[in-house]
Amino acid sequence: PELPEVETIRRTLAVKLAGRTLTGATVFYSGAIAHPAPEQFVAGLRDARVQGLRRRGKYLLIDLSSARTLVVHFRMTGRLVFHPRPASPAPHTHLVIDLDGGGQLHFVDSRKFGRLWLWPTAALGGDGPLARLGREPLEDGFTREFLRVELGRRRGKIKPLLLDQTLIAGLGNIYADEALHLAGLHPEKPACDLSPAEIGRLHRAIGRVLQDGIEHNGTTLRDYRDGTDTAGRHQEYLRVHRRPACPVCGAAIRRKRVGGRGTHYCPCCQKEESGHGD
> Environment class of residue 111 by beta-carbon count within 10 Å: exposed (0-12), middle (13-18) or buried (19+)?
exposed
Output the pLDDT for position 153.
93
- In this prediction, residues 35-46 reach a mean pLDDT of 98
Q: Is residue 278's pLDDT more than 60? A: no
At 54-74, the pLDDT tens digits run 999 999 999 999 999 999 999
Per-residue CA distances from 274 to 109, 207, 263 (Å): 41, 21, 18
Q: Rounded distance, CA 11 to CA 118, Å?
A: 21
Q: Which one of 3.40.47.10, 3.40.50.300, 1.10.8.50, 3.40.50.1010 gives the CATH number of domain 144-265?
A: 1.10.8.50
Angle at 196 between CA 195 and CA 200, to 5 degrees: 115
- The pLDDT value recorded for residue 205 is 99
CB atoms within 10 A of CB 198: 19
Q: Give the per-residue pLDDT at 78.
A: 98
- Domain 3-123 has what CATH class? alpha beta
Write down the pLDDT at residue 140: 97
Q: What is the pTM of this model?
A: 0.96
70-107 in b/e burial notation, b at 16+ Cβ within 10 A?
bbbbbeebbbbbbbeeeeebeebbbbbbbbeeebbbbb
Q: What mean pLDDT is predicted for residues 181-201?
A: 98
H or E element that contains 80: strand 78-83
Indicate the angle between helix axes 144-152 and 196-215, nearest 10 degrees. Answer: 120
In one-letter notation, the amino acid at residue 260 is: G
Give the relative orientation of helices 3-17 and 196-215 as an angle to the nearest 10 degrees: 40
Residues labelled as active-site residues = 1-2, 58, 261
CA dist 33 and 72 (Å) reads: 10
Distance, CA of 133 to CA of 136 (rounded, Å): 9
Report the range of poorest mean pLDDT among 75-84, 137-146, 269-278.
269-278
Alpha helices of the chain — where are they, by DSSP H? 3-17, 38-45, 144-152, 158-162, 173-183, 196-215
Bridge partners of 107, per DSSP, are 80, 95
pLDDT of residue 256: 97
Lowest mean pLDDT among 94-98, 152-156, 186-190: 152-156
Residue range 83-99, pLDDT digits in tens: 999 999 999 999 999 99
* Residue 197 Cα distances to 35, 59, 139, 240, angstroms: 45, 32, 21, 22
Q: Mean pLDDT throughout 108-137?
A: 95
Write down the mean pLDDT value for the chain: 97
| pLDDT score recorded for residue 274 | 46
What per-residue confidence (pLDDT) applies to 231? 98
**Which pLDDT does position 272 carry in this prediction?**
80
Given a cut of 50, whether residue 275 has pLDDT beyond it is no
Distance (Å, whole) CA 198 – CA 273:
11
Domain map (residue ranges) of the chain: 3-123, 144-265
140 in Cβ contact with 207 (< 8 Å): no
Radius of gyration of the chain (CA): 20
166 pLDDT more than 70: yes
> Per-residue pLDDT for 276 more than 90?
no
Q: Is the pLDDT of residue 20 over 90?
A: yes
